[in-house]
Amino acid sequence: MLFNGRIIAILRGVTPDDCVAQVKALVDHNIVDVEIPANSPDWTQSIRLIKRHFARRVNLGGGTIITPAQAAACAQAGADYALTPNLDENVVETCRAQGLKICAGVYTSTEIFAACALGVDALKIFPAVTLPASWPQLIKGPLSQAVPFCAVGGIDENNMAAFLQHYDSVGIGSALYRPGQAASVTRQRAASLVR
- Phi, psi angles (nearest 5°) of residue 83: -125, 135
At residue 36, the pLDDT reads 98
Asked whether residue 14 carries a pLDDT value surpassing 80, the answer given is yes
Cβ neighbours around 98 below 10 Å, total: 17
**Local structure of 13: helix, strand or coil:** coil
Distance in angstroms (rounded) separating the CA atoms of residues 33 and 185: 18
Catalytic residue, chosen from 35, 101, 111, 140, is 35
78: confidence class by pLDDT, cuts 50, 70, 90? very high
Task: Give mean pLDDT, residues 122-131.
Answer: 96
What are the residue boundaries of the structural domains of the chain, listed by start? 7-194
Q: pLDDT (tens digit, 9 = 90+) per residue, 162-184?
A: 999 999 999 999 999 999 999 99
Q: Which residues pair with 151 in a beta bridge?
A: 125, 170
- Contact (CB, 8 A) for 26 and 32: yes
Verify whether residue 101 is a known catalytic residue: no
Could you tell me which CATH number the domain at 7-194 has? 3.20.20.70
Q: Omega into 127 within 30° of 0, i.e. cis?
A: yes
Q: Bridge partners of 65?
A: none
What 8-state DSSP symbol labels residue 20? H
Query: Do residues 41 and 33 lie in contact, with contact meaning Cβ atoms separated by under 8 Å?
Result: no
Name the active-site residue from 101, 124, 140, 157.
124
CA-wise closest residue to 35 among 66, 14, 56: 14
Q: Determine the average pLDDT of the residues in 151-155.
A: 97
Task: Give the number of other Cβ atoms within 10 Å of residue 85's Cβ.
Answer: 19
Query: Who has greater pLDDT, 140 or 112?
Result: 112
Neighbours of 17 (CB within 10 A): 12
Nearest one of 8, 59, 69 to 38, comparing CA atoms:
69
Task: Answer yes or no: 93 catalytic.
Answer: no
